[in-house]
Amino acid sequence: MKVTFRKVTFGKVTFGKVTLGSALFYALNVTVSSSLIGLVVDKVLASFEEGPWDPLLYGERSDLIFPAACLIVLTAARLFLPPAPRWKAAIVDSSLYLLLLLACYGAVLMTDGSNVGEAIGGAFSVALMALYTLQLPAAWALIAWATGHLAPAGPRREQSPAASPAGRLL
């Protein structure tokens, strides 16, 4: 079965790789779910009295910059990047997620008065903590799973609500 992609152009911006709703649902699912997993595991680990850390992720307002940026970047990546095999889309989006995590936390640390070296070191510390709290592994697993549920933009045909990306999750 051959799938053809319909392109829609608004000015000089061309959409047409996946539907906007599908890309937004994908980015929202990956961002919110992985962030919640990281937050819950972080709070559980911090509840132990002998733990060496205080709750790290999402303890301040500036920590919400990453989920907002991640939502925007992952949605844009699925909208603007050319159609690719599922494995390639998962690798690209997983790399974007990690790079965005490093960039956001590095930028926040630099605006808080850290020098470049401290900001880079702090960003990598946050990334290691995200690995330890299962936020990064959860994001990578969700990306690998969710790339298979993106709806390609094509000719509209009648669908039942159960065939939509949200309906397949139910």
Query: How far apart are the C-alpha atoms of 31 and 148, rounded to whole Å?
Result: 16
Query: How far apart are the C-alpha atoms of 22 and 49, rounded to whole Å?
Result: 43
Q: 39: which DSSP letter? A: H
Residue 1: per-residue pLDDT: 45
The stretches in the chain having pLDDT less than 70 are 1-17, 49-61, 151-170
pTM as predicted: 0.74
Query: How far apart are the C-alpha atoms of 150 and 78, rounded to whole Å?
Result: 9
> What DSSP line would sit under 8-27, residue for residue?
EEETTEEE-SB-HHHHHHHH
* 60-96 burial: b if 16+ Cβ within 10 Å, else e: eeebebbbebbbebbbebbbeeeeeeeeebbbbbbeb
Residue 156: per-residue pLDDT: 47
Residue 69: per-residue pLDDT: 93
Residue 147: per-residue pLDDT: 84
Residue 82: per-residue pLDDT: 81
Residue 7: per-residue pLDDT: 52
Query: How far apart are the C-alpha atoms of 38 and 43, rounded to whole Å?
Result: 9
Residue 158: per-residue pLDDT: 47
Query: How far apart are the C-alpha atoms of 86 and 25, rounded to whole Å?
Result: 17
Residue 162: per-residue pLDDT: 54
